Structure 1
Amino acid sequence: MIVRDASDDDWPAIFPIFTEVVRAGETYTYPEGLDSAAARSLWMQPPPARTVVAVEGGRVLGSATTGPNRPGRGSHMATASFMVDAAARGRGVGRTLGAWVVRAARDGGYRGIQFNAVVETNTAAVHLWQSLGFVTVGTVPGAFRRPDGSYVGLHVMYLDLT
């Protein structure tokens, strides 16, 4: 598996993954039913953001987008978002993308990585980020509405790169 910068030609492979993850409603606050152009504008942001894909055998297995967490005085902190094709889950795609983002943030001179909204019931992601050194610095209770109408917390997770 390789991780490389995403190109415009990758969007047709990323969009179904984006749609599938958003439709499941368990991990992102993105609205459902976005058309390709609207979804693309959220995921394939212009520099200084960067979007990458994890590819194996010519097939896009997942994607990550990363860049400054905030503009201006917050631009020394990175953030990232990740999506993995359901058929490729459990094969290390998320870990590969996560490790790539940590290296890229470190190489890019960021002082840390802040994830603003990790759904607390997304235990696979929470475990993965913890295994990469992230800590939960707080949880906003009830900040995420699940498809069944119940509310769960959103973790703010952080990795110090200094």
Structure 2
Amino acid sequence: MRNYLSRIRKIKKQFAISEEEHFVAAPNGTHHRVFLSDSYVIRFRDDNPELLLREAQFLKQLDHPKIPEVLWSGKVNQIAAMVENRLPGKTMNVVWKTLPEIDQATIITQIVEFLQYQRTQTKEHVYSVSTGKKYKKFLDYLTDGMKQKIAGIKKLLVSKNSNKRME
């Protein structure tokens, strides 16, 4: 934790982030080290730095009010980091179960609207943050992801069936 705090101090100095901005570790549910203040989110990725840097590049292409703006991405002490503005609200994985169904439905509707927005984007290409593979359209990306999941399920079923035959 101490290493992250020294990195956060460096980032705060580099971007003239107020000393009053206090960062705390995000609650569980994140894929890497995330620290939150009232105005900013700082994410670090020790295990796969290129993945975080690709994600930052992807997010920088988007212009949508529900997507945090990436203010900076790069390396601090050889560790990948990304600084974003923090959108107002509460952390979803903390409050979801306590929300009334009407609020959950509103959030799901907003997610669907965002996915529809993604489908209308006319960027040169869309790429998978996790694999780096490029697609001509967002729908191609979604289709490929589903094909991969289906192939994985088929492989699992074939494996189970061949194990049953051996018994």
Same fold, judged at TM 0.5 (above): no
TM-score (norm 1): 0.28
Structure with higher strand content: 1
- Whose radius of gyration is greater, 1 or 2? 2
